Amino acid sequence: MSLDDKVTTACHRIEEMWYETEGKCYVSFSGGKDSTVLLALIKLCEEVLTIPVGGIPAVFSNTGIELGVTADFVRWCKENWYANVQMIRPAHSFDWAVKHYGKPMLSKLRSHYLHQYRCGTRTDSLMGVLIEGVSGTGKTTWKGRLAERDYHMLHDEFTIVPSEMCCNVLKKKPFEAYEKANGMKGAIIGLRTSEGGVREAKAKHRMVHGGKLCTAVTKRGIAKYPIIDWSDTDLEEFIKAYNVPLSDAYTKYGFNRTGCMACPYGKQLPNDLKYLHDHEPNRYKASMYWLKDVYIAQNVVLPFDEAYERERERESGAHVTNQ
């Protein structure tokens, strides 16, 4: 489809969501490109009066570990561009989450399996997932498999407890509480299959089982993905054509994606840490306070930080010995 066709389809999906939920829906707004494009599409719907102006709130969970410019951009949107922005906060901090559950490492799925391993689950099935990427039932789960360079994380002397629960504490639970408090029946989410991974796999699963590409129905309600079939090129062309505002994280810092600062799941983690170091040094220091041991365990190379590099090289030698 052309971009114009994709814009029309995305707007129809938003309008469909509005009527399916009788107006009890919201946008999950992160301040990133995808969710900002959703707000621009909603504004297009408002202009032609297919949904009421301000009828769909954009909800931002201020986790406390966002980039400073992300929080600034969300406030700017509320004051200048999209008035119905609502800010919520989690009940607990990131510091609380890592102390109670563990730290994010490698990826959400690998953190999940490593947490089970570190907490005493040493079944053949789990080891099959971590080493071979195959579960005890023979199901391929290669996204949970460790690379050989990460086998030191299975050593008994490895002290970090991995966990994916920070996402639940800081994002999932606050949104669930918001939905319950406001009687929401669904959420509009800027998810795209072109990002690959779990997003693409879940979309394929829906389609195979007779569902819609752009819609998922869960216990929490309806999840609508208006731009799920947009490519990166579609996104950039729309931003340019419709003059969509963006956070300084993209336009000044150089980030390709935004989210929780210095998250170890990021594919561009060394670059993200460099941008954080250069532009928001206090947040860089906070990231090192919480997650330096994780970065070292993942052998993240940061040539701009000499003290970190000395420690990483020392610890990397110890990892090789343990293997």
- Predicted local confidence at residue 319, as pLDDT: 55
Instruction: Report residue 209's pLDDT band, with 50, 70 and 90 as the boundaries.
Output: very low
- Predicted local confidence at residue 121, as pLDDT: 85
- Predicted local confidence at residue 266, as pLDDT: 82
- Predicted local confidence at residue 202, as pLDDT: 59
- Predicted local confidence at residue 195, as pLDDT: 62
Q: What is the mean pLDDT of residues 116-144?
A: 84
Q: What is the mean pLDDT of residues 147-169?
A: 94
Q: What is the mean pLDDT of residues 52-56?
A: 95
% of the chain surpassing 70 pLDDT: 90
- Predicted local confidence at residue 182, as pLDDT: 97
> Residue-wise over 94-131: b if at least 16 C-beta within 10 A, else e?
beebbeebbbbbbbbbbbebbbbbbeeeeeeebebbbe
Among 70, 72, 46, 74, residue whose Cα is nearest residue 59: 74
- Predicted local confidence at residue 45, as pLDDT: 97
Domains and their CATH numbers in the chain? 3-92+166-253 (3.40.50.620), 105-154 (no CATH), 269-322 (no CATH)
Q: What is the pTM of this model?
A: 0.88
Structure tokens at 201: 């796999």
Q: What is the pLDDT of residues 217-270, one digit of tens each?
A: 888 899 999 999 999 999 999 999 999 999 999 999 988 888 888 899 988 899
What is the average pLDDT score of the chain?
90
